Amino acid sequence: MHIFLWIVLLIICMIILTSLISFIRSGKYNFQVEMKEIRFSAEIFYTLLVIYAIVIIGFGLIYLILSFQHITLIEGGELREVSVIGSVIHSFYFSGVTLLTIGYGDITPVGIGRFIALVEALIGYVLPTAFVLKLVQYSQNNRND
């Protein structure tokens, strides 16, 4: 059972990385909305939202799997026993707060969860930059066409 959870964890990580790489490398986008003299690609924006959702869900699943291995998230400085539903809620909440770099501090990871949270926060910090770079690339490609 232990090896199965690590395989699932690896698969989730691969899905997240594949989604991020495909977002960064993707080519043409067709949908656009004119905003004064700036072009805005609705497809890039929706893609970014989907990427954020995939990363939040993926890392939430990682935290949930780790909670089954007793590598938990500590709430309010205390280790608390929560139900499975409570663990799901805490895992996805912590994932969203970490990815969006809000970091309220009400839930703290323990052990390897700290490193995983660091990686997720880095992704959350880099995604908006990739989004802006894609918009600039999109605008330059439209000017050249």
pLDDT digits 0-9 by tens, 105-140: 888 888 888 999 999 999 999 888 888 888 788 777
CA distances from 15 to 47, 59, 106 (A): 15, 11, 28
- pTM score: 0.72
Q: What is the CATH number of domain 42-130?
A: 1.10.287
List the domain boundaries for the chain.
42-130
In eight-state DSSP terms, residue 75 is E
Cα–Cα distance, 63 to 88 (Å, whole number): 9
Q: What is the CA radius of gyration of the chain?
A: 18
pLDDT digits 0-9 by tens, 27-41: 443 444 444 445 566
Whether 9 shows a pLDDT value over 90: the answer reads: no
